[in-house]
A and B are shown apart, each in its own frame.
Chain A
Amino acid sequence: MRRLIVLTIGMFLLAAVTCNADTVYTVSLDTSGLVGNPNAPFALDFQLTSGDTTSGVVNTAVLSEFIFGGGGGAAIGGPFPNSGNASGDLSSTVTLDTSGGSFFNEFSQYFTPGSTLVFQLDLTNNPQPSGTPDEFTFQFIDNTLGEISTTDPSGSNSLVIIDLTGGTLQPAIFTTNGDDVTITPELSSPTSGIPEPSTVWLVAPALLLALRYKRRLSRHLSKS
C-alpha cells in the first residue's frame, strides 16, 4: 500500500514536471515619443498564433502588471475585436492561448502613452510536432489601424516576435521606424514563472497525498 501511494505521488509530480515551465520576461519600452504624437490614438496589439491547430498542443501568453509611465493608461476598447482565445484588460491581465485548436488569437486595446511602458510577459513553450511553431508577437497600432512600421524584415512590423519551439526562446526584437518615433523594446533575462495553472492540479494532489501519507506514517510510528 505504501508503495502504491509513493508511486501515485511520484506520477503526479512527474506529470507536472514534464509540462514545460513558463518563461517570464519583463518588457520595457520608452514610449515618450508617442506622447503628443499626431498619429494617436495608439493601441497595444498582442498575437498568439498556432502552428498546428490539430496537434492538441496548447501554448499560453499572459501579460500583466502594465505600467504606463505617467500616461493615461489603458483606454476603453481597441482597434480590433479580440480574436480567438483572447481576453482581459490592460489595466489588469491579458491572456491569450491556443487551446481548442484556435489558430489566431489577438488582443488589442487603446492606451494613452506615458514616458514608459512596462509589462510582464509569461509564455509557455510547447513545441508543435508539425514544424510550424506557435508564435507570440507584440506591436503598436496607430490611427491608421495599421502597425507602426518597424525594422522587422518580414514586413509584419512587429516589435517582438517569439517562436515557441520548445527550445530556448529566442525573442526577435525590432525598432519602430514609423510615426517619427524610435522605440526599441527591452526584454529582461527570462525567468521561470510559477507553474502554469494546468500543472497546479497535478502538483496539488501529489502534495495532498504526501501530506496524508506523512500523517498516517507519523500516526503509525506514534502507535508503534
Chain B
Amino acid sequence: MFTLNGRVIVGALVVLFHAKITLAQGFTFTGDTVADKTNWLLQAPPQIEISPSCPVPPISPKTGQPINAEIGGVAWPTLVQIQKFLTGFTERSYVCISGGSEPGHCPDGPNCKADSSGRTHANGFKVDLQIENKGDTFSDTLSKFIIDDTFPYRCRDDNSPQYLEDLRGENYGLLFAMEHPSAGADDPCEKQYKTGPHWDILSSYSSLTVTPPAIAVDVADFRPVFPVANDSSGAIAKDPGMFDYCFPQDLSETIATVDRTGSLTGTAGAVIGVRCDAPPCSTALLVSEGAYYDLINVTVNAPDPPNDGPICPQGATTSGCWQWLGTTWSWNPPPPSTPTPDPPALPPPPFGVCPQGSQPCWQWDPTGGNGDGGWIFVLPEGDSSTSTSQPIIPAESVDPNAISGPTGVGAARYISGVSPAGYTVYFENDPTATAAADQIVVTDQVDLTRFDLTTLTLGPITFPGSPGVLPPSVPLQTAGQFSTQVSLTTANLLVNVTASLNSTTGLLTWTLRAIDPNTGLPPEDPALGILPPGGNGSVSYTARLLPSLRTGTVINDQATVTFDANAPIPTAVWSNTLDATPPISRVNALPSTEPAASFLVSWSGTDVGSGIQGYTIYVSDSGGPYSKWLTQTPSTSAKFIGNIGHTYFFYSAATDLAGNTEAAKAAPDTSTTVTVPCAADSSASAAITRGGFRLNHATGQFTQTVTIQNKSAAAIGGPISLVFDNLSSNASLTDGTGITACKAPLNSEFVNLSLGASGSLAPGKSNTVTLTFADPSQAGITYSTRVLAGAGVR
C-alpha cells in the first residue's frame, strides 16, 4: 500500500484526506527517525497530493454536494500544523485535537473517561508523522502525546461519510497518527486511526505547495474565507452550518479581525477559529468557510507595501495608494495633477484670488470651462449677480483701454447699492507700438454726487512682469497716498506705483513709472518699459454709493489712460442704474372662512426698477409664529392645506432682481378660518339590522354583522358612516374609521360603509358591514346607532 521510493506516505491525514508528501531529490533516510523527520522537513518542500485512487467523494448531508472543494480551508492549515509539530512543537498549542477513541475502548484505566452515554474512551492521542517501513511507532521525541482534558470526548459509531464530516466538525483537524497512551500495541484504537476505511475521503484536491522554510503561507495560497459579520459592531457570528474549531488553544487570543466587507486580516500564518464548546469562547473569532462550512480557516495579512504611501481601503480601487492584488502590491498612482492656471491674464484679474478676505475676487472652478477649469468672478455679497457658474472670460475685448463696473441686472444694469461698486480700468500698449511704455497714468473722475469718497478703496494693480500690486484694503482717504515700488521679473527695471485721490475734485490718479535701477532714471532703451508692445495691465477700485441716491439714479464712470507723452485716451463710460427700492407685495384677500381644508391663496406685487424676482409667503397658524410657507417663488398663487377649525394668517415679502427685499410685516395681509360643515344625520332614512356577537379565537375579538338598508325613496349620498353611540366601556371598535368630532354626540366611534363605485346607497338597497370589537372582559356589548351621510365632518 505504501512505497518508499522517495516519498514519505503520510497516512496521517486520515480524517481529511489520503495524502502523500513528496521529498526533494536526493533525500536519504538515515534510520534515525528524529533526524529523518527533521531533515525531511527542512529540505523538502512539503507537498500534498491526492491519491488518484481515492473513491468518489461522499455527499455532504448538509449541502447535498460532494465533499470535494475548499482545499484552502483544509490542507494548508494542516500543513502548518504538521510542520510546526515536526519542527519541535514550538507552538504545540496549535495542534489541538479533541475527540476520542471508538466506543467500547479503554474499559478502565487512568486515562479513560466516560461520555454522556456511559461509554468510556481514551483520553488523548499521540500525534506523529509515520514513515512507512521505518518502523516508527511513536517512540521518537517528535511524536507527541496530546492530552487535554478541556476538550470533550465524542463518540462515533461508524465510518460513514457523515462520520467523517462529523469528525471535522469535532475538531479532528489533524489526525495523522494516534496512539492510545495507555493501551497496548494491539489496541484497536491505534489501528483504527492508522488503517481505518475512512482514510481516503476527498479525491479532487489538487496539489498545494508550501514554501519552506517559512511556515507562513503565502497569501496567494490562501483561499478566501467568509466570516459572517452580523451586526454594526462588526462582530462575527457563527454561520448556522459552521462547526467550531479549536485553533488556537488560547481562546482569548485575537488572531484576526474582520471588517464590514467580510475581509479578514491578521498575522501571517495565523490559524483562525476557536472551539466554542464552552464559554468564554463566544468572544473569540468564529470563522466560517462559506460554501464548505466546517473546515479550518486560516488567513494572513498582506505583507507591508514595498514603499511608503497609503494602503488602499479594502475592496476599493482608489488612487494614490497601494492596492493588494492577492499576490503583489500595486501602486495606484494619483490622478495627474493639473496645476491651477493663473487667473485670466487678459485683462488681468482686478480683484485677486479668493479667499482674500473680501469680495469681489477670482475663484478657480475645476469643473468650469467644459471641464478644463475656469476662473469664476465672485462679486460682493448682496450684489444680485454675486456669482456665476460659468467662467468669465475677462479678455473678451481687445480694446486697448476699457473700463468695467458692476454687472447689474438688465440693460440698465440695475444695482441695489447695498454693496460697493467696483470698477476696473484696463490698458494695453498697442502691439504695433515701437516702444515700451515707461510711464502710465490712469485717471478716473469719481462722481462726487454719486459716490462716498470716504469709502473708496484701491483694488489690485497689475502689469507684466509682476504678480501684481495689492494696496491695503482701507479707504484711500484714510491711508493717504498709496505708493510702492516693485521689481519687474521680465527686465532689470523697477516700477514706482502711486495712487492718489483728490477729495475735493474726486479725481483718482494712478501713476506707474519705470526706473532703471542703475541710474534711478527712466530707462533709456526704448524697448524697456512697463508695458512692452502688446503688454497690458489694470487698475481697480471700489466705492460705495451715497445713501441719499434715489432709485433710477444713473451712475457713470469713465477713466483716461496716458502712456508717456502721448495724449490721454478716454475709456468708454460704464453705466449703472440704482434700484434701491424694495418691491411692494401683498397676499390677496381671502374669505373669512374656507369651506374646505385645501384652498387657493394668491398674491401680487409691484417693483420700481429691476422688477420682482420672487415672493416669500409667510403663514401663521391660529396666531402662532409666522413661518415661511413658500420661499422666493415666482408663482403668484398656490393651494394651501390647513386643518379644520384653524385660522391662518398670511403675508408676503417680495424680492426684486437687484436684491432689494420687502421688509417683514407687522400685520398680516389677510386671514381665513377653515370651517367645514358637519355631515347630515340620515338615521331616519336607514333601517339597521344587527346580527349577534361571536368570538373569533384566531383574533380574540368579537364579530358582529350589521346591515343598513335605505328605507327612503331617495339615495343616501356617501360617504355613509355608521356611528356607535354610547358603546359600552368594556368594548371598543377595532376597525373603526374614526371618531365623531362635529356632529354630537361627539367622541363616538364610526365606520364608513364600502359603497363601491356608486358612492351612495340606492333606495331599498342594503349594505352589510362586519364589525370587530375588542372585549377582553367578555362582558356584554351595547351601543346605539346613528347614520351620518354626505360630505362634512363626522
Binding site for B on A (CB under 8 A): 45, 47, 49-54, 79-80, 83-84, 101, 103-104, 106, 130-135, 137, 141, 144-147, 153-158, 161, 163-164
Contacts and interface: CB of A to CB of B under 8 A. Distances in A.
A101 to B, nearest CB: 7
B691 interface: yes
B782 A130 contact: yes
B692 interface: yes
Interface in B670-693: 688-693
Given A132-B690, A135-B693, A161-B694, A156 B703 contact: yes
Q: Could you tell me the dominant secondary structure of chain A's interface residues?
A: loop
B751 to A, nearest CB: 14
A103 B778 contact: yes
B694 A137 contact: yes
Given A103-B781, A154-B770, A135 B697 contact: no
Nearest to A108: B697
Nearest to B772: A155
A163 B780 CA distance: 16
Q: Lowest 8 A-B CB distances belong to which pairs?
A: A135-B692, A53-B780, A146-B698, A103-B780, A156-B703, A49-B693, A104-B778, A154-B770
B744 interface: no
Contacts of B770: 153-155
Contacts of B695: 47, 49, 104, 106, 156
A80 B778 CA distance: 14
B690 A51 contact: yes
Contacts of A144: 698
Interface in B482-497: none
Contact of A156 (B690, B696, B780, B781): B696
B692 A49 contact: yes
Contacts of A83: 778
Contacts of A54: 780, 782
A158 B695 CA distance: 10
A50 B507 CA distance: 106
Given A54-B782, A131-B689, A134-B692, 14 more contacts: A45-B697, A51-B690, A53-B779, A53-B782, A135-B692, A146-B696, A146-B698, A147-B697, A154-B704, A155-B696, A156-B695, A156-B696, A156-B703, A164-B692
A151 to B, nearest CB: 14
Nearest to A83: B778
A28 B692 CA distance: 23
A45 B782 CA distance: 24
A135 B694 contact: yes
Interface in B745-783: 770, 772, 778-782
Nearest to B783: A132
Contacts of A103: 693, 778-781
A100 to B, nearest CB: 12
Contacts of A50: 780
A187 to B, nearest CB: 17
B705 interface: yes
Nearest to A98: B780
28 contacts: A53-B782, A80-B697, A103-B780, A103-B781, A104-B693, A104-B695, A106-B695, A131-B689, A132-B690, A132-B693, A132-B704, A135-B692, A137-B692, A141-B697, A146-B697, A147-B697, A154-B694, A154-B703, A154-B704, A154-B705, A154-B770, A155-B772, A156-B694, A156-B695, A158-B694, A161-B691, A161-B692, A164-B692
Nearest to B697: A146
A52 B693 contact: no
Most buried by A among B692, B705, B778, B780: B692
B217 to A, nearest CB: 53
A145 B697 CA distance: 7
Contacts of B703: 154-156
Nearest to A138: B694
Most buried by B among A49, A50, A54, A161: A49
A46 to B, nearest CB: 11
Contacts of A132: 690-693, 704, 782
Interface string B211-250: 0000000000000000000000000000000000000000
Nearest to B703: A156
Most buried by B among A80, A132, A153, A158: A132
Given A153-B770, A155-B703, A49 B694 contact: yes
A131 B781 contact: no
A153 B754 CA distance: 15
Interface string B106-150: 000000000000000000000000000000000000000000000
A101 B779 CA distance: 9
A66 B691 CA distance: 28
B690 A131 contact: yes
Given A153-B770, A154-B705, A157-B698, A133 B778 contact: no
